[in-house]
Amino acid sequence: MDLKQIEKINTYEWEISRSVQPWMRVPVRIFSDEIMLKAALQDRSLDQAVNAASLPGLVGSVCVMPDVHQGYGFPIGGVAATDVQEGVISPGGIGYDINCGVRLMASDLPRQAAEHLLEDFTRLLYQACPSGVGEKGIVQVQAKELRRICEQGSGWALKNGFADREDIETSEDGGCIAGADWAAVSRRASERGAEQIGSLGSGNHFIEVDYVEQVFDEQAAAVMGLHKGSIAIQLHSGSRGFGHQVCTDFVHQFQAVAAKYHIQLPDRELVCAPLNSTEGRAYLSAMRAAANYAFCNRQVLAYAVRQTFEDCFPGYHLRNVYDLAHNIGKIETHRIGGQSVRVCVHRKGATRAFAPGHPDLPQQYQKIGQPVLVPGSMGTSSWVLVGTESAMLKSFGSCSHGAGRVLSRTQAKKEVNGGQLREELAARGIFVQAGSLRGLAEEAPRAYKNIDRVIECIEGTGLGRSVARLVPLAVIKG
């Protein structure tokens, strides 16, 4: 992809025309400034977006977020919607870590009152929340109970004492997507998922203790319970080995399906199936099961975080602000060309950003819009925003999910010493607990884009409105 092939719409919006490649069914709309756009041309992310524009049944545009970077098939930071009657569903457009997502919890505990116990608290969190590759979770279940988790999501956690009603009400989809079908889940996925409920995992997954450094929208922050100077905690995890296996199973299966339905693609990583086909419906059902697994996983982790927090800081409560999904496929209604169209929105490394008044939002967020959580890289700030009407019109109600990588994991490990990084973070007042120094190096701040620039692009395009800025005090990595 060449910059000359990209048309500038305004300072923060760009477009790749359908005429760039013969297989493109829709244009590609890029939300970025020129500096980050040029950086995106250094990997295959924009080529992947152009290839994704070949999928049958696409509507609107393929959308590219400012945190975009290369992924499997689709770019990470990509959003695309297909018509439910004529379109397809592509596992590569959702990702391997199905419903990898973030939860934000807030408290009234002032930073100054927490600092003397911060290291002890972080060590206790590290002990309470299993992390690392292949690590078992807080809960291990048999297949019968795992099926209930996949059908009930966070509702299972509520029934089993790992959640309260407010947790459910302040989670995307109430922590459960209807339509999961256990029959579509393989035995291998079941085996991998049975022991990992309530586990963090590794890679970019984290628990982060923050404080609210700045508030930009007092009304929205008050509704969310975010107060300047107070402690908040972010939790980032997904569907673990269970979701990875679901994606793996269907990517392999769909290699033959594309030929069966005479679907020609410029990249075999985009394998897909018609939404209305037996194979497409099976993947959608299994993906929903994995999404519900992830909702429950984060809820059980959140329970452990809350118990540890409230034991460590008596008299203070840790309440849920919101829990949202990153890698997901959702059946939604959007306005396309002046008409309401039922579509399957693929969000890969992107999050929902629904506007005020949307019927899918919790009652308490109806007036301000959906909370949008955009974590930065380890050691940098994170942002809380709210969804907007502009996002509904431009990006199927979607927004960035984070900072976005600029160094691959391999590059980061070559260039960063994990031990030195931990010392550097400690010198800045950020306490780190990590299971692996090599894993820590992969997540170094320099491996990611400038989060403040990403937020500037989001604000500039109107995809979100800033509410608060969080700054880390402690980080737990697998």
- Strand ordering across the sheet containing 28-31: 7-10, 13-16, 28-31, 58-69, 76-83, 339-348, 328-336
pLDDT tens per residue, range 91-140 = 999 999 999 999 999 999 999 999 999 999 999 999 999 998 878 999 99
- Indicate the pLDDT class of residue 356, thresholds 50, 70 and 90: very high
pLDDT tens per residue, range 186-243 = 999 999 999 999 999 988 899 999 999 999 999 999 999 999 999 999 999 999 999 9
Res 169: pLDDT: 97
Does 197 appear as a known binding residue?
no
Q: Evaluate if residue 332 carries a pLDDT over 80.
A: yes
Mean pLDDT, residues 4-30 taken together = 97
- Indicate the pLDDT class of residue 1, thresholds 50, 70 and 90: confident
Res 94: pLDDT: 97
**More reliable by pLDDT, 49 or 204:** 49
pLDDT tens per residue, range 463-474 = 999 999 999 999
- Rounded Cα–Cα distance for residues 332 and 289 (Å): 18
Mean pLDDT, residues 41-50 taken together = 96
SS3 411: helix
Res 134: pLDDT: 78
Q: Is residue 141 within 8 Å of residue 134, measured between CB atoms?
A: no
Looking at every residue in the chain, the average pLDDT score rounds to: 96
- Rounded Cα–Cα distance for residues 345 and 362 (Å): 20
Res 437: pLDDT: 87
Terminus-to-terminus CA distance in the chain, angstroms? 36
pLDDT tens per residue, range 214-230 = 999 999 999 999 999 99
**Entry pTM:** 0.96
- Rounded Cα–Cα distance for residues 177 and 192 (Å): 21
pLDDT tens per residue, range 430-469 = 999 988 888 899 999 889 989 999 999 999 999 999 999 9
- Rounded Cα–Cα distance for residues 207 and 332 (Å): 30
Does 401 appear as a known binding residue?
yes
346 catalytic, yes or no? no
Res 228: pLDDT: 98
Res 149: pLDDT: 98
Mean pLDDT, residues 165-179 taken together = 98
Does 378 appear as a known binding residue?
yes
Res 133: pLDDT: 83
Does 222 appear as a known binding residue?
no
Q: Evaluate if residue 14 carries a pLDDT over 90.
A: yes
Does 262 appear as a known binding residue?
no
Does 404 appear as a known binding residue?
yes
- Rounded Cα–Cα distance for residues 327 and 205 (Å): 14
Does 121 appear as a known binding residue?
no
Res 315: pLDDT: 96
pLDDT tens per residue, range 295-331 = 999 999 999 999 999 999 999 999 999 999 999 999 9
pLDDT tens per residue, range 388-399 = 999 999 999 999
Res 409: pLDDT: 87
Q: CB within 8 A of 236, min separation 6: which ones?
A: 100, 101, 102, 103, 204, 205, 206, 207, 208, 375
Report the percent of the chain where pLDDT is more than 70.
Answer: 100
DSSP conformational letter for 408: -
Res 135: pLDDT: 81
Mean pLDDT, residues 43-64 taken together = 97
The residue behind tokens 């500038």 is 8
Give the tokens for residue 69.
Answer: 């970077």
Res 132: pLDDT: 86
CATH architecture designation of domain 3-406+448-471: Alpha-Beta Complex (3.90)
Annotated catalytic residue within 69, 227, 334, 401: 401
